Structure 1
Amino acid sequence: MSADVVVQDPERNNEVSHGLKTKKLPGQHRLRRYDSLDMESGKVSGHHAHSSKSVAWSVVLPLAFQSIGIVYGDVGTSPLYVYASTFTSGIKHNDDILGVLSLILYTLTLIPLLKYVLIVLRANDNGDGGTFALYSLVCRYAKVGLIPSQQAEDRDVSNFELELPSRRLKRASWLKSALENSHFAKLFLLFATMLGTSMVIGDGVLTPCISVLSAVGGIQQATEKMTEDRIVWVSAAILVLLFMVQRFGTDKVGYSFAPIICVWFALLTGIGIFNFIKYDPGVLKALYPKYIVDYFKRNKKDAWISLGGVVLAITGTEALFADVGHFTVRSIQISMCSVTYPSLVWAYVGQAAFLRKNSDLVANTFYKSIPGPLYWPMFVVAVLAAIIASQAMISATFSIIQQSLALGCFPRVRVVHTSAKYEGQVYIPEINYILMLACIGVTLGFRTTVKIGNAYGIAVVFVMTLTSSFLVLVMIMIWKCNIFYVIAYIVVIGSVELVYLSSVLYKFDQGGYLPLAFAAVLMLIMYIWNNVYRRKYYYELEHKISPEKVKGIVTDTNVCRLPGLALFYSELVQGIPPIFKHYVENVPALHSVLVFVSIKSLPISKVPVEERFLFRRVDPKEFNVFRCVVRYGYTDVHNEQEPFEKILVERLKVFIREDVWFSQTIVNKGKINEKGGEYEDGIVRKEVENEEFNQDDERLEAVEREIEVVDEAWHAGVVHLLGENEVVACKGANLYEKILINYAYNFMKRNLTHSDKMFDVPHQRLLKVGMTYEL
């Protein structure tokens, strides 16, 4: 087999042809000679700087405006219920209000502003955020993935690595080595990623419930006819409408929602300043942390338990990171610092000032603190804002499920890209309907915000704690931060989150079990899919067909060759899958051009189109058999503009041209070395070049003939051979493996999107080849 070639843009075909005569091929520095389509590689060193996208302000500012409607609806509606959830037994001492206000202000500053906006957003994966983005960063720098599909050429993708020069390499190398050499560490990282993902999805269920119920419940202040049952059913109807509009996409939904949230933040700010001036400007004393200490001294255990209410002030903060793929880092930083943070500070300060004079009204702080003339306008905007609040975590859920799909950690579902203008905005119909049913079930089952608030707090703090854990790995291994900065982060941010986590877990039996139950179900689904997916890959790796065996099959005189192009799909990256031998044994016929296509997801968000196809020729050359690995990032769109087969054929023809140049270069270097290298007068090199020039026309003619064969096969018709692998537990398997493989995995596989839909394969040209794998 010849060496790998990373295929360049097809528009350069003429340049390549010219290069055969001039010996100066554009982009020739990208040619590699790694032998990695037959065995796992990844040991070849490589280095590329991180390609950070510079986005024009004409794009950043509209995205910043959109993000107000998508990202901050959740954290923006927290003033609806924070004080009521914190003082569940009433206010026992007037200075307790200052203590809680101080906790809220410092928590808002430390977690959303300092941790997420200034630190965590920097850990995005080429513009994408969330738990899986952090996991993919770690996978890229250390071989902690459980599927051995790494290749040396992956390091040559322009945005694969993010190396930052540093003298702290020793500590980073030690941590990397420790992770790579520990199977437990690899499993634990995957487990933590799944847990974080499941908790974010749990947020996507609980956010709509608590936000809408809190807002709609405000009507009870105006009329007693609005009973609890009616509030619950009105909330359920609103939730149905919310999930029905998701199919229009983040772009349209964002522009529709952003003006409403802007009005909401303006009203929060105005009412907060009004209450601050009218009731008690002295609440600014809460900036002095001593009031926090006094609060804990007076209330002891009750103060610690009340932290479960305080933490609701930062619900939805994870959306800043999870939704960054829908926007940009700069746009979220702008909207948070200029609009959201100041507005929330004034809202909580104003409510605290109101409570200093009306401590008996804490159960309905939000609506009671609204000036009379503004009550109904504020109620309408509050309901709309609560509906919008749900959008933040719904969008985040779609983003992280798309990432988990690409990394083989979630069953295949259909991902719809809803915006041609902005990258990363997706909608997943199946997940949307599941979230809707779950939200309605929680709303009808719990009926009040008290128990939902307990559940909500656990989901929020769990995700934040897991994000911090991954971030510490990133800081040490990738950013190579000074160890004192890492320790400072753990002491300041980590300790605060652990205190909050201990508080919310105290209310486990009061509704706190709900997000953990959601997480358990989701993690079970992820575990089953990922476990069997890995077993299948290892089975194919162990039973792959050797190059000698493939050569024997294609040269067998009993196997006839048919006109046409056959694309044989498999998930195996290294080598030819065993299903090919099964196919030939049953159908002893091969097409005139055969390409084995492997679809591979890299642990990066995007792979440039010109670097996506990696070809190799299968000897003997005259039989026109090729291997092709098609590499996607976890947010890449499959077949966005052109049919997959058309793109592949164009890249194949470019490969054939470049392969001839590459092979001849290797031959010429060998001749020069055999003759003792280049003399001072350049006689040997000139002699070789003259000999090569005489063969140019002959080689160009051979290239054109081979490309003509591909074109003829293309016009004769393309057949897509898709491996449909049935998996069963092997003989002697225990009961656990039989249930896992025979029932759980196969049930999910039968009810999910099929592989042919991923590539828009025409059904009239699709041939499925079945084979049973005993795992």
Structure 2
Amino acid sequence: MQKETWMQTLILSFQSLGVIYGRLSTAPLYVFETIDAEDISSPDEIHELFSFIFWTLTLIPLLKYAFIVLKADDDGEGNVLDALVCSGIDFTVFVVNLKQTQTSLILAGGPFSLYSLLCRHAKVGLIPSNSGSSKISYHEEDEISSAPSQGKPENKARKAIEKYKSCHYLLLFVALLGACMILSDAVLRPAISVLSATSGLGRSLAKISKVFSPDEKKDHTANALKKYLPAPVACAILVCLFTLQRHGTKRIGCFFAPIVITWLIFISGFGLYNIIHYDAQILRAVSPVYMLRFMRKVNLRHEKLLSSVVLCIAGSEAMFADLGHFSKKSIKITFICFIYPVLLLTYAGQAAFISKNLRVDGAFHLSESIPHGSLEHVFAVLSLFASAVGSQSTITAGFSIIHQCQALDCFPRVKVVHTSNKIFGQVYVPDANWLFMILSIAFTVGLHDTSKLAKATGLAVATGLLVTTCLMSLVIALYWEKHLFASVCFLLFFGSVEAIYLSSTLTSFFHGAWCLIILLVFFMTIMAAWHYGTLKKYESDVENKVSIEWLTDYSPSLGVSRVPGIGFVYSDVDTGIPAFFTHFISNIAAYHQVVVFVTFKASPVPYVHESRRYLIGRVGQKEYKMYRCIVRYGYHDNVRDTDDFEDDIIRSIGEFIAREEYDHEALNSPEGRMIVLGIPSNDGNGLITVADMSSTTTVVGVSESRRGLLDAPSGSGGTPPPLGKKKRVQFMLPPESPQMRVSVSQELRAMIDARESGTAYFLGQSHLTARQGSNLLKRLLVMAYVFLDKNCREPPVALNIPNAALLEVGTVYKI
């Protein structure tokens, strides 16, 4: 793995200020503002609340995330073997050449990152695309090493979790719950931050209006500005903010970072002024004695106060959820050296001001702590920009979570745009972006109250933090293999702190926290329905597949013909013949000279290296010219929507044919034994490519009639009429091809001829329906899945396939 330079670290640290830490930096806008002044009985309680803020910032973002959780990054190149074992693959020979593994900094974070680590190190995965039973052999010409170790030794915790299926479902639910909290936060956080800033703008304009308005209209004008101005301005800012997302994390980070730096220096400077001018004794509140004094007299009123305090760490989860956008070093350095001390100075200054102006109207708003009236107007404008930046972290975290969930079959197919060629985790999801914008504006207009939005946001923050703690405790025991006592201590220590905040936010359930439940039901229904439908569809495909003998023994009696060309058959099954393809052959009675069964397999890792991307094997005997290709990818990989995907598969099959010559065991091996291959270069043993931009690929139209297919019998050499054209590369045998065996050379030549004759693509469409008598929950999940499947913005196989060459064969499954 390439080592990150200090210059790269500084650049990423600068960009992270505008993406990750914008939220933490704007939390002072509403932490104290959402506290009801009537709930504060004395200035001492302000000191106690600041003690809570100090220790909460120290324990959660600093200790938990910066020093512990960030170490659990899901490094895509860190353990390829474990990723493949999780996919159910039994290795016979496996070689890892670390010297050839050169990647840029590849990291991923969030609850699904922790969940994927658990899937790799304990058999708890429920994702259908992670299952399989293929045996693989892997060969390299220059280096062969011994078989890998059998994995990490078993322990009691792993055995207990693997034994009970209910634990598997519980872990998936917890991971989905954490993902839902981040997605809900991406809706609520922009609403509360922008609305809080615009309320400050309304207060500033109200003061100006009192100077220029007639005496009899001063109060009326000021109250109108405070009441009616914030919502329209907030909606306009939200539209601008979400529109900027398409420019990508790098551009937004470079643009937003100076705003965050200016904002933090501005508020921390006045925080220092307020400490000196109003109450220097506030610094004594860093002692935990103040916090314990508050806990001794806790009641319902104090619980309400803590529901506002938890907002000071709103945005901490972005340090881990946005890990794919930046490096661990840059995130940690930025927080420890800049964000943490500046925020403490700001909160201390605001608490010092409030403690001496407890009964002053509006004292809990941050703008009131600005000492000079003219600077208050500057603060109002700067807070608007800072609030927009503060929403960026949750939005980008939402994009990352959707991308991960989609790759692991827990979210419908949506378009994902990779906005950086160097930091592969930087993604933009257009559909999710507009959904976040609509929901955020709806909550802003509907609630029109910062306090209500704060209660919902606080509940989302506390729940998300507790989910991370639960998953992280399992990672400590199962992945890091620390003593169970260490895992329990981590869970009890951080979990107890977060449970206190969770209980405090639940006391405000009917005062705004109920909004989160609406978003939770919305996102959880989408994820659960899609996962359930995907799982059932996969199980139905496996149950209805047929063996290779059906195609080779039974089909000749039907008068099935072989026509020139290559047929790519896309399915989810990795052994046998998919049911939809047999349905097609039974009705058309013809299939192509060369058939390639392609299956995409998601691995619970961010990335699968290109050198281990494809698994190639035969289907049936050599004379059938049928192959199977399993394409492995991680939840941050982008392998499907490339223009040269088909060419890569053909070259990999050519390399497989050439290597198989030296693998005598694989010549007569049963189906399922495959070879690990990457994207072969032109100096490989199989096919090589020559750019041929002037020529086009002829695609065999799979929508043509049975008569059209049978007009070109096997071996006739005829070419079906072209129904679609696209630019392509030309294949040829390598210069040393005369040294090959005749059978190998003939098979490679047949592959070239088939490619020249044309290409067709077969895609199965499985339609799910609930059986009569199914319970209500199953019916609702199936209905939701069918609706989502019909309205997906991306096709099941996101390849640049000409419409004339694509055949979708539908099958109906009752579950």
Which residue pairs with 1:357 in the alignment?
356
Deviation at 1:337, TM superposition (A): 1.0
TM-score (norm 2): 0.81
| Contact residue 614 and residue 632 of structure 2 kept, 8 A | yes
Task: State how far apart, in whole Å, the 2-side matches of 1:422 and 1:305 are.
Answer: 42
Matched, 1:214 2:196: yes
Q: Name the amino acid aligned to 2:752.
A: D
Matched, 1:561 2:562: yes
Deviation at 1:110, TM superposition (A): 0.2
Which residue pairs with 1:675 in the alignment?
none
Task: State how far apart, in whole Å, the 2-side matches of 1:526 and 1:756 are.
Answer: 17
| Contact residue 199 and residue 226 of structure 2 kept, 8 A | no
Determine which of 68, 71, 82 is the counterpart of 1:122.
Answer: 71
Which residue pairs with 2:142 in the alignment?
none
Instruction: Give the secondary-structure state (helix, strand or coil) at the position aligned to 1:724.
Output: strand
Deviation at 1:723, TM superposition (A): 1.0
Q: Name the amino acid aligned to 2:803.
A: H
Which residue pairs with 1:718 in the alignment?
759
Q: Name the amino acid aligned to 1:503.
A: S
Instruction: Give the secondary-structure state (helix, strand or coil) at the position aligned to 1:661.
Output: coil
| Contact residue 315 and residue 460 of structure 1 kept, 8 A | yes
Matched, 1:176 2:158: yes
Task: State how far apart, in whole Å, the 1-side matches of 2:769 and 2:38 are.
Answer: 57
Task: State how far apart, in whole Å, the 2-side matches of 1:727 and 1:611 are.
Answer: 34
Which residue pairs with 1:199 in the alignment?
181
| Contact residue 601 and residue 631 of structure 2 kept, 8 A | yes
Task: State how far apart, in whole Å, the 1-side matches of 2:777 and 2:652 are.
Answer: 45
Instruction: Give the secondary-structure state (helix, strand or coil) at the position aligned to 2:601.
Output: strand
Matched, 1:142 2:122: yes
Deviation at 1:527, TM superposition (A): 1.4
Which residue pairs with 2:540 in the alignment?
539
Deviation at 1:610, TM superposition (A): 1.6
Instruction: Give the secondary-structure state (helix, strand or coil) at the position aligned to 1:188.
Output: helix
| Contact residue 324 and residue 423 of structure 2 kept, 8 A | no
Task: State how far apart, in whole Å, the 2-side matches of 1:446 and 1:572 are.
Answer: 48
Q: Give the paired residue count.
A: 689
Deviation at 1:290, TM superposition (A): 1.2
- Range moving further from structure 2, 119-128 or 269-278: 269-278
Which residue pairs with 1:378 in the alignment?
379
Q: Name the amino acid aligned to 1:710.
A: M
Matched, 1:598 2:599: yes
Matched, 1:705 2:704: no
Query: What percentage of residue pairs aligned between the two structures are identical?
Result: 37
Encode CA deviations 1:105-154: one digit per residue, 9 max, x unaligned.
Answer: 00000001111111111112111011111111111111212245434779
- Range moving further from structure 2, 724-733 or 278-287: 724-733
Q: Name the amino acid aligned to 1:722.
A: L
Task: State how far apart, in whole Å, the 2-side matches of 1:207 and 1:316 are.
Answer: 9
Q: Name the amino acid aligned to 2:800.
A: D
Which residue pairs with 2:59 in the alignment?
110
1:632-711 alignment runs, 5 A limit: 632-639=633-640, 642-663=643-664, 700-711=741-752
Q: Name the amino acid aligned to 2:124.
A: V
Deviation at 1:327, TM superposition (A): 1.0
CA pair 705-118 structure 1, distance change in 2 beyond 3 A? same
Which residue pairs with 2:683 in the alignment?
none
TM-score (norm 1): 0.85
Task: State how far apart, in whole Å, the 1-side matches of 2:385 and 2:158 are.
Answer: 48
Q: Name the amino acid aligned to 1:185.
A: C
Task: State how far apart, in whole Å, the 1-side matches of 2:302 and 2:796 are.
Answer: 57
1:305-704 alignment runs, 5 A limit: 305-361=304-360, 363-372=363-372, 373-552=374-553, 558-639=559-640, 642-663=643-664, 700-704=741-745
| Contact residue 573 and residue 600 of structure 1 kept, 8 A | no
- Range moving further from structure 2, 545-554 or 243-252: 545-554
CA pair 643-666 structure 1, distance change in 2 beyond 3 A? closer
| Contact residue 553 and residue 559 of structure 1 kept, 8 A | no
CA pair 731-348 structure 1, distance change in 2 beyond 3 A? closer
Deviation at 1:155, TM superposition (A): 10
Deviation at 1:664, TM superposition (A): 6.4
- Range moving further from structure 2, 408-417 or 141-150: 141-150
Q: Name the amino acid aligned to 1:770.
A: G
Deviation at 1:440, TM superposition (A): 0.6
Deviation at 1:486, TM superposition (A): 2.4
Encode CA deviations 1:69-125: one digit per residue, 9 max, x unaligned.
Answer: 001111110111112223542532121121111110000000011111111111121
Deviation at 1:173, TM superposition (A): 2.2
| Contact residue 660 and residue 666 of structure 2 kept, 8 A | no
CA pair 491-734 structure 1, distance change in 2 beyond 3 A? closer
| Contact residue 19 and residue 249 of structure 2 kept, 8 A | yes
Deviation at 1:234, TM superposition (A): 0.7
Deviation at 1:636, TM superposition (A): 0.3
Task: State how far apart, in whole Å, the 2-side matches of 1:772 and 1:665 are.
Answer: 37
Instruction: Give the secondary-structure state (helix, strand or coil) at the position aligned to 2:32.
Output: helix
Deviation at 1:301, TM superposition (A): 3.6
CA pair 88-657 structure 1, distance change in 2 beyond 3 A? farther
Encode CA deviations 1:253-289: one digit per residue, 9 max, x unaligned.
Answer: 1111111111111112212122222222221111211
Matched, 1:728 2:769: yes
CA pair 664-195 structure 1, distance change in 2 beyond 3 A? closer
CA pair 165-715 structure 1, distance change in 2 beyond 3 A? closer
- Range moving further from structure 2, 705-714 or 78-87: 78-87
Instruction: Give the secondary-structure state (helix, strand or coil) at the position aligned to 2:481.
Output: coil
Gaps of at least 5 residues in structure 2 are: 76-106, 140-147, 207-221, 670-736
Which residue pairs with 2:26 in the alignment?
77
Instruction: Give the secondary-structure state (helix, strand or coil) at the position aligned to 1:414.
Output: coil
Task: State how far apart, in whole Å, the 2-side matches of 1:766 and 1:312 are.
Answer: 52
Matched, 1:768 2:808: yes
Which residue pairs with 2:95 in the alignment?
none
Which residue pairs with 2:240 in the alignment?
241
Matched, 1:60 2:9: yes
| Contact residue 638 and residue 758 of structure 1 kept, 8 A | no
Encode CA deviations 1:629-678: one digit per residue, 9 max, x unaligned.
Answer: 1111011012465421111111111111111211269899xxxxxxxxxx
Deviation at 1:414, TM superposition (A): 1.2
- Range moving further from structure 2, 88-97 or 394-403: 88-97
Task: State how far apart, in whole Å, the 2-side matches of 1:153 and 1:546 are.
Answer: 15
Encode CA deviations 1:743-773: one digit per residue, 9 max, x unaligned.
Answer: 3222111111343561222223212122222
Which residue pairs with 1:676 in the alignment?
none
Encode CA deviations 1:462-521: one digit per residue, 9 max, x unaligned.
Answer: 010011000011000110123443233223211111111111111111111111221112
RMSD (Å) for aligned C-alpha atoms? 2.5
Matched, 1:185 2:167: yes
Encode CA deviations 1:531-551: one digit per residue, 9 max, x unaligned.
Answer: 121111111111221132233
Deviation at 1:215, TM superposition (A): 0.7
Task: State how far apart, in whole Å, the 2-side matches of 1:514 and 1:429 are.
Answer: 24
Deviation at 1:593, TM superposition (A): 0.8
Matched, 1:95 2:41: no
| Contact residue 354 and residue 363 of structure 2 kept, 8 A | no
Task: State how far apart, in whole Å, the 2-side matches of 1:444 and 1:297 are.
Answer: 40
| Contact residue 90 and residue 360 of structure 1 kept, 8 A | no
CA pair 295-593 structure 1, distance change in 2 beyond 3 A? same
Flag the structure with more relative contact order, 1 or 2, with Cα contacts below 8 A and sequence separation at least 6.
1
